[in-house]
Amino acid sequence: MAAVKKHFVMFYSPGTFFAETSEKPIDSWDVEKAKKMARSIKERYGATPYGFRFITRGRTAKELDSKEIALSPMYYLGGNVETLAQVKARATDKERILVSNMQNNGYDRIVTSTSGYKWTQPLQKEDVVLEVAG
C-alpha cells in the first residue's frame, strides 16, 4: 500500500470566545475554489467565514493514523489592514485594550473583517488578505 495524502480547507468564522471552524475536503490548495466554498458555510448565529487555511494530511503504509504534513498561511476574505501606529492614531478610549494587546503581544499589524460580524485578528507576515467581490 502506498502513502496516502488528502487536502482539506478549514474555514474560520467569528465565535463567542474563539473562532468557529468547519473543515471540508478539497482536491487541491485552490484559493478560488475555497473562496466559493466559503459562501455556503454558516456557523452558529449565522456567522460566516472571515478566512480559511489549507491543510494536507497524510500517512505512510506503515502508519495507522494520518498526521498534518502541510499547512498554508491564513487567507482572509477581505478586510482592513492596520499597523499598530495606525491603530494608536485613530483609537478611541474603547479601543485601549486593542492597543494594549497589540503592544503586549508584539502584533505589528491586524486585519478586521469587512463583511459579516466584525472580527479582528493579528495579521502574520505570511498571511494573505484576498479581494472579495460583494
**pLDDT 10s digits, 33-89:** 999 999 999 998 889 999 999 999 999 888 889 899 999 999 999 999 999 999 999
Place of cell 487567507: 75
**CA atoms of 82 and 110, how far apart (whole Å):** 5
Residue ranges of the domains in the chain? 4-74, 77-130
Q: Residue 7: beta bridge partners? A: 26, 56
Q: CA angle, corner 81, sides to 76 and 83, nearest 5? A: 135
**CA atoms of 31 and 55, how far apart (whole Å):** 13
State mean pLDDT over 7-21. Answer: 94
pLDDT at 134 over 70: no
* Phi, psi angles (nearest 5°) of residue 130: -90, 150
User: DSSP for 48-72?
Assistant: --SEEEEEEEEE-TT-SS-EEEEEP
**CA atoms of 21 and 51, how far apart (whole Å):** 10
State mean pLDDT over 15-26. Answer: 93
Indicate the pLDDT class of residue 96, thresholds 50, 70 and 90: very high
Write down the pTM of the prediction: 0.90
